Every structure is written in structure tokens, then in C-alpha cells.
Amino acid sequence: MSRQSNRATDNKKMNSELFTLTYGALVTQLCKDYENDEEVNKQLDKMGYNIGVRLIEDFLARSSVGRCHDFRETADVIAKVAFKMYLGITPSVTNWSPAGDEFSLILESNPLVDFVELPDNHSNLVYSNLLCGVLRGALEMVQMAVDVRFSQDTLRGDNVTEIRMKFIKRIEENLPAGDE
């Protein structure tokens, strides 16, 4: 009996490791393809964006979350539902700006960086930058333009990983363009 439950947890764990290891292989490949860290960061953001615009549909289909009424609600849904669903972690939402348009997600642990150490010659690499792109892309599909960046990163020596999200503006629904 206990052996079976071990296997079930093993399966889940291995699935998580599949993602983590694949992400690592991707970053490694990008570092080979691009000469500097800035380029890699940009590419990760772009790929994340492409994933985000598709992920949002998957998210909306699988969670029973309705429309968010304000940015605070959005923050809660991102932290408590989305992160939980996709990465199995629940970051905390803190550091709200006085205007209520900017907040931080604090991640105690980051599944993407299991087994990862940054070598010295890649000090400018934002390893998990894919996440920023994903968040940006997903929110754009629900009419929100946001700016997302890492302000703290355990890989670069900080105690926690902190993602800063800033609301830029609401995107008007674009009606299909006429013949151009």
C-alpha cells in the first residue's frame, strides 16, 4: 500500500522535474545561441509571452474564476489560483503601491531553479524570465497591459524571489480591422 502511494508522489515529482529540467535545457541552449545575457533575457520573455497568450485559455477553462473587478483581485487570483495550479506554489502578495497599481509576488521557493546555480559569467541572466513573459501575455489576453519584472532573485544571492507587477492600462477590445 505504501509503495503505491510512494509511486504516486514520485510520478508527480518527476513531472515537475521534467518541466524544471526541460526549462534548464532551454536556458542552456539560449545561452549558447546568444552572446549576452540581455539577449537571453529578452528571448525568454518573448517565449514566455507566447506561452502566456495560450496558457490563459487553459487557465480560464480549468479554473472557475470569473472576471476580476480590480487589480487586487487579479493579484489574488494570480497568486492563489494560477501559481498553485501550474507551479504548485502560492506566492504571497505584498508591497502594494499607494495607488494600488503595483504589487509584489514573493516566492519562497521557485520550482524553475531546482538544481540550478548561475555561473559567474552569467551574472546578468534573469533565469526565470519566462515567468514575466507568461504573466504579461496572459494578462494582455484579458485586456490588461502590465509590466512584470524580477526585483529579487535567489539565484543572484537574494533571500527570496520577488516579482514586481505594475498595471499600465486597460486594453480596449480591438474590433476586427476592415480590409487593409
Partner 1 sequence: MADEALFQFLHSEIIQYVNSAETGESENGRCVSKLENMGFRVGQGLIERFTKDTPRFKDELDVMKFICKDFWTSVFKKQIDNLRTNHQGIYVLQDNKFRLLTQLSAGKQYLEHAPKFLAFTCGLVRGALSNLGVKSIVTAEVSVMPACKFQVMIQKM
Size of the chain, expressed as the number of residues it contains? 180
Q: How many CB atoms lie within 10 A of CB 44?
A: 24
Nearer residue to partner 1 within complex by CB, 9 or 174: 9
In the stretch 139-158, what mask flags binding to partner 1 with x, by CB under 8 A? --------------------
Nearer residue to partner 1 within complex by CB, 133 or 155: 133
List the one residue from 1, 37, 51, 150 that touches partner 1 (CB under 8 A).
51
CB of 8 to partner 1, least distance (A): 10
- Answer yes or no: are the C-beta atoms of 104 and 164 closer than 8 Å: yes
Q: Which listed range, 11-19, 102-110, 147-155, 169-177, lies at the site for partner 1 (CB under 8 A)?
A: 11-19
| Rounded Cα distance, 152 and 164, in Å | 9
| Cα-based distances in Å from 158 to 51, 90, 109 | 27, 19, 12
Q: Work out whether 35 is an interface residue with partner 1 (CB under 8 A).
A: no
Q: Work out whether 13 is an interface residue with partner 1 (CB under 8 A).
A: yes
How many Cα atoms within 13 Å fall on the side-chain side of residue 81? 17
Q: How many CB atoms lie within 10 A of CB 8?
A: 9
Q: Work out whether 12 is an interface residue with partner 1 (CB under 8 A).
A: yes
Nearer residue to partner 1 within complex by CB, 15 or 123: 15
Q: Work out whether 118 is an interface residue with partner 1 (CB under 8 A).
A: no
CB of 148 to partner 1, least distance (A): 17
| Rounded Cα distance, 100 and 71, in Å | 8
Q: Work out whether 169 is an interface residue with partner 1 (CB under 8 A).
A: no
- Answer yes or no: are the C-beta atoms of 160 and 154 closer than 8 Å: yes
Q: Which three cell numbers stand for residue 10?
A: 514520485
| Contact residues: partner 1, CB under 8 A | 7, 10-26, 28-29, 33, 43, 47, 50-51, 54-55, 58, 85-88, 111, 115
